[in-house]
Structure 1
Amino acid sequence: MRVARLRHWLAGRLPPPARGRLAGNVRAAELAGLAFAFRARAVAIVVVSLWLLVLVPWPRDLYYLAVAGLFFLLGYVPYRLRNHPRAGAIKLAFTVLDIALVTTAIIMPPPAGLGVDWPVQTRLRTPEFLYLLLLLGEAALTYRPLAVLWTGTWIAAIWSFGVWLVYGREDTVRFADIVHDGRLSADAALRIFLDPAFVGLTPLWTQAIVTGLFTLLLAIAVWRGRGTMLAQVRAEVVRADLARYVSPDVADALTARAHAGFGAPQTRVVAVLFADVVGFTGMSEGLGPERAFALLRGFRERCCKVVFRHAGTLDKFLGDGFMATFGGLDGRGDGAARAMACAVDLQREVDAWNAKREARGAAPVRVAVGVHCGPVVIGNIGADQRVEFTVIGDVVNVASRLEAATREVGGRIVVSECCFSAARPEVAAHFTRTLPLTLRGRTQPIVVHVAE
């Protein structure tokens, strides 16, 4: 792995390709938020429409249902254009139209013959202003604090403009037109307040202040939520990039503990698995470079899938083989059992691969596996220019020699007694022979179990 790239990852600075993926993932999250906001808007329209059918008599409810339909259309257009390069600006523009439509529907009476003959000023005394605040909720679902601030600002501006137009009508009754010396009895004030044409500015100020505070608080909440989303997306991008160079569990540990001294050497009981394609050199001579490369790539893809399925760490590829460890990072205590299950599963995967190869006339592949477990030193090793997270110790040597011993004993998997004792019954059933084996460079034999 390139050390400069790893340092960028651990320092929180993404390389250019990762920054592109980060932007793409954030964009995908924003699009998902816009789609969810539209669906929530549609549900709200249905609920309000049903309420209007109950509340408003016929045929006036047709007018408000038409307004609801137009409101749905104003939301559907930016939803359909959400992939447009200027989708954000389009949505903000349609938000202004939304606010204008709702404000007009609240303040302006229905057409003649559909409404009741009350002064237009009475329409400012109903609680329908709360419908405008629902638009703030929709804006919050887009993960964009700017959308919340934009919506809240235009709600306050357009609603205030509408109220001011009604307040300025000649038939509007105002305290300012009656009170000149600053003194007015309580009874007189009540009579003015109860006048159907009365409009006061105190409710407007209250609505503006509450809208501003609600907008600010909601924008802060969305900003914090967006920060959490960005952190999650960034962590996933970093992990995905790291996982291309190191095992996924190592990538998880690096991203989770990058600033906590990850890789400090420590002693742990770990199961080590070696696997190798038997006779790969001879096979590659008859295949040619391209086909040999394809064979090796197919082998590695299948190995990675099986090792990761059993929560193992792919320590390194070794030409036509690989080394994997179990229990080095997770501390689950079942590393030997998982290594045994992985060895059997790997042979099952190779058998399925060989069936496909033989069906198209290709030679079968034989894979030898050796497994041993015990205490090792695990951690970072290397120089400043290149660091490798790996395990070292006699256990590694024994596992490697057990893999090589498969040729001698005529089996596909050779495991030590300490690993076999941890195997689950369905895994242990694959091992049909037990024998003492003296490994190269040793004088004392060890008990091994062999799977054909």
Structure 2
Amino acid sequence: MDKSGPAGVSSIADMSLAAEELAAQRTALWGRVLALLMIAVLITIVTPWPGPLFYYPLLVVFVLLGFGALLAERARIPWLRYVFVTADFALLTFTLLYPNPLIPYDFPPQFTLRFGSFIYFFVLLAGLAYVYRPMLVLWGGVSAALSWTIGIAWLVNLPGAVVQAPTGQNREELMEAISSPYFVDLGVRLQEAIVLLITAGLLALAVSRARAIALRQASLASEKTNLSRYFPRKTVELLATKTNPLSEPREHMAAVLFADLVSFTGWAENRPARETIGVLREVHALLAETVFRHDGTLDKFIGDGLMATFGTPEASDRDAVNALAAAVEMADVFRNWKQSRAGSDAGQLELAIGVHYGPIVLGDIGSDRRMEFAVLGDTVNVASRLEQANREIGCRLIVSVALVEAAMAENPDDTKAALARLKKHGPLSLRGRSATTDVLMLQ
């Protein structure tokens, strides 16, 4: 299935975001482990011995819940993520409100509210912000507020609980109620739950914004990946960073290369479609990789051949040299492939290549509904005719003297290395052209 269209880009972006979410879950797990280690040290310091022995197993359970959340993310089971979040905050509520039986002080359960431990809820809530899921953050806030409310309700309903201070003017009675270890200030507890929900909402908004940015970046990355299938890296950067870089047609010098499998249509006539496509994909991959290796642009695949350009959309000082080197290497790469397939009929195929250098016109053509990057001009026509002329004179590669002269001007040493492989040929009369074209060839 083609993933290069808008739906494909969206799918790739979603997959990229899913990978980022899994990586974020791993980060959240290690952050949790580090935070719990620090909390373990803090508990060891501030909690009278042997009180820490009650908390250590609970910290281990928190770590296990973190691993469970990671496994749920890997399994892509949405509801299971919410279960682990709920379990997190339920366990935290139990840890904070249930009296530590190992602490050597006889305090009622309500007295645990005096320790200010509620702030640990924000540690867990902050950990949810890693995973790019605003709804999970909101659910965390709701779970935390609900768990805390249930825990407070339990404390309020214990024997001896004091939940309301006297409303009279007796200051001593008021102070006595507030200072009672059984006192539960419901107003403060309500504020805590509301602040927790507000914080969760703000975090969810921030996570939603981060998720949108991550999706946008993933889409851009997938689009650049698609572009890299056709253009060299420097061209991809140009297309990705400039708005409508090809909207205005322009003309400059460039090299154009055509390559085509000779008699492929007849070869494929009586062969299974799977074999035909397999061979074509192998050859296209080899040729395209050669183009990219020499900073060329894959303009299009044309049936069993291709068109490539060197110097589009931006010209460089090595376009002719790159085109010449790519053409010679392409002929060698294909011959090596033929030798590897010597035991099959595919080894009988031949490749014809033609390259020319000259002025080209490039820009977007089409309509607002369907645009296409196009390279036009006489240089394109000449390169195509040179590729076809291989069949007439019995060779594998034909390059124009204009290309060789331009390459010599760019880099004489690299050009001489390629010329050592080529032979001169008399002027060619190309179909549709009145003037002859001086060429060199590789047999």
TM-score range, shorter chain: 0.7 to 0.9
| 1:358 corresponding residue in structure 2 | 342
Structure 2: distance between partners of 1:426 and 1:88: 59
| 1:306 corresponding residue in structure 2 | 290
> Using a 3 Å threshold, how does the CA distance of structure 1 residues 47 and 353 change in structure 2: closer, same or farther?
farther
1:38-92 Cα offsets, whole Å, 9 max, x none, are: 343334334433443444454322211111122233333343344557x222221
Structure 2: stretches of 5+ with no match in the other structure: none
> What is the deviation of 1:348?
4.0
TM-score if structure 2 supplies the norm length?
0.78
Secondary structure of 2:347's aligned partner: coil
Secondary structure of 2:354's aligned partner: strand
Secondary structure of 2:361's aligned partner: strand
| 1:372 corresponding residue in structure 2 | 356
1:131 equivalent in alignment to 2:131: no
> What is the deviation of 1:225?
1.5
> Using a 3 Å threshold, how does the CA distance of structure 1 residues 302 and 52 change in structure 2: closer, same or farther?
same
Percent of aligned pairs sharing the same letter: 30
| 2:215 corresponding residue in structure 1 | 230
Secondary structure of 1:247's aligned partner: coil
1:160-215 Cα offsets, whole Å, 9 max, x none, are: 443454356554566x434413x749xx9778766655544454355334323321
Structure 1: stretches of 5+ with no match in the other structure: none
Counterpart among 145, 153, 158 of residue 134 in structure 2: 145
1:77 equivalent in alignment to 2:65: no
Letter in 1 for 2:258: F
Structure 1: distance between partners of 2:44 and 2:252: 70
| 2:255 corresponding residue in structure 1 | 271
Letter in 1 for 2:292: F
> What is the deviation of 1:376?
1.2
Aligned partners of 1:403 and 1:413 also within 8 Å: yes
Taking the TM superposition and a 5 Å limit, the aligned residue runs for 1:436-451 are: 438-440=427-429, 441=433, 443=435, 446=438
Higher mean alpha-carbon deviation, 394-403 vs 89-98, is at 394-403
CA RMSD of aligned residues (A): 4.3
Higher mean alpha-carbon deviation, 434-443 vs 57-66, is at 434-443
Structure 2: distance between partners of 1:233 and 1:83: 19
Taking the TM superposition and a 5 Å limit, the aligned residue runs for 1:384-403 are: 388-403=372-387
Counterpart among 186, 190, 193 of residue 208 in structure 1: 193
> Using a 3 Å threshold, how does the CA distance of structure 1 residues 257 and 93 change in structure 2: closer, same or farther?
same
> What is the deviation of 1:287?
8.5
> Using a 3 Å threshold, how does the CA distance of structure 1 residues 71 and 294 change in structure 2: closer, same or farther?
closer
Structure 1: distance between partners of 2:139 and 2:370: 50
Aligned partners of 1:431 and 1:450 also within 8 Å: no
Aligned partners of 1:171 and 1:197 also within 8 Å: yes
Structure 2: distance between partners of 1:424 and 1:40: 58
> What is the deviation of 1:283?
9.4
1:126-177 Cα offsets, whole Å, 9 max, x none, are: 3432221122223222221111111112212322443454356554566x43
| 2:410 corresponding residue in structure 1 | 422
Taking the TM superposition and a 5 Å limit, the aligned residue runs for 1:317-328 are: 317-328=301-312
Secondary structure of 1:429's aligned partner: helix
Aligned partners of 2:97 and 2:112 also within 8 Å: yes
Aligned partners of 2:14 and 2:215 also within 8 Å: no
| 1:154 corresponding residue in structure 2 | 143
TM-score if structure 1 supplies the norm length?
0.76
Structure 2: distance between partners of 1:343 and 1:401: 15
Higher mean alpha-carbon deviation, 36-45 vs 147-156, is at 36-45
Letter in 2 for 1:422: E
| 2:86 corresponding residue in structure 1 | 96
Higher mean alpha-carbon deviation, 49-58 vs 307-316, is at 49-58
Counterpart among 24, 34, 38 of residue 29 in structure 2: 38
Aligned length: 431
| 1:65 corresponding residue in structure 2 | 56
Taking the TM superposition and a 5 Å limit, the aligned residue runs for 1:230-269 are: 230-235=215-220, 247=230, 260=244, 263-269=247-253
> What is the deviation of 1:218?
1.0
| 1:180 corresponding residue in structure 2 | 168
> Using a 3 Å threshold, how does the CA distance of structure 1 residues 399 and 445 change in structure 2: closer, same or farther?
closer
| 2:263 corresponding residue in structure 1 | 281
> Using a 3 Å threshold, how does the CA distance of structure 1 residues 117 and 180 change in structure 2: closer, same or farther?
same
> Using a 3 Å threshold, how does the CA distance of structure 1 residues 309 and 100 change in structure 2: closer, same or farther?
same
Letter in 2 for 1:396: V
Secondary structure of 1:373's aligned partner: strand
